[in-house]
Amino acid sequence: MKLSFRQVCMFWGVMDVIYLAAYVWQSIADGRIPLIDDILSFNQLYTEQGGGYWLILIFILSMITTLSIAFSAVLLLIAWDKVGYLVAAQTPLRLLLVVPSLSFLPWILKGINPGGIGLALVLLLTSETLKVWSLIRSKKRNK
C-alpha cells in the first residue's frame, strides 16, 4: 500500500497535535498556563539558582521546538509542499531534546518501564528517521 504525500502529512500532523494536546493537558493539570508559566518558572529558577549559558540555550531551544511543533502540525495537516524544510530543521532539536515525532512513544515506554535509556534512544532515532524518510519518499512518489 502506497501512501500519498497528503496521507503521510496527515499522520505526522496528527502526531504533532497529540504532542501539543498532551503538553497543554499536563500544564493545565499542574495548574499552569502553557508556555507562560514555563517562561516564568525558568526566569525564577535562573535568578534564584543562577546558571550558565547552557541552561539558557536549552530553554530557548525547548521553546523553539514547542513552537515549531505547533507550526509543523498546521503545515503538515494542510500538506504544505515545503513542510519538509521545517521537519528537517526540527529534527535535530527533537533529537537533542528527546521529543519523538511518534508522540505515543513516551507513554509506551512509561508503560513497559524498560529500565534503561538504550531502548528509548533507539525508538527516538527510529521515530525521526521514519518521519523524514516517509515524507521524502511520499513526496518523490507524488511528482
Residue with cell 498532551: 22
Domain boundaries, the chain: 5-141
Whole-structure pTM value: 0.90
Quick check: 103 pLDDT over 90? yes
Give the per-residue pLDDT at 83. 95
For the chain, the average pLDDT equals 91
CA end-to-end span of the chain: 17
Question: What per-residue string of b and e applies to 72-90 under the rule 16 or more CB within 10 Å gives b?
Answer: bbebbbebeeebbebbeeb
Give 134's pLDDT tier (boundaries 50, 70, 90).
very high
Quick check: 114 pLDDT over 70? no
Give the per-residue pLDDT at 132. 96
The gap from C-alpha 87 to its chain's centroid, in whole angstroms, comes to 10
Quick check: 48 pLDDT over 70? yes
Distance CA 41, CA 59 (A): 11
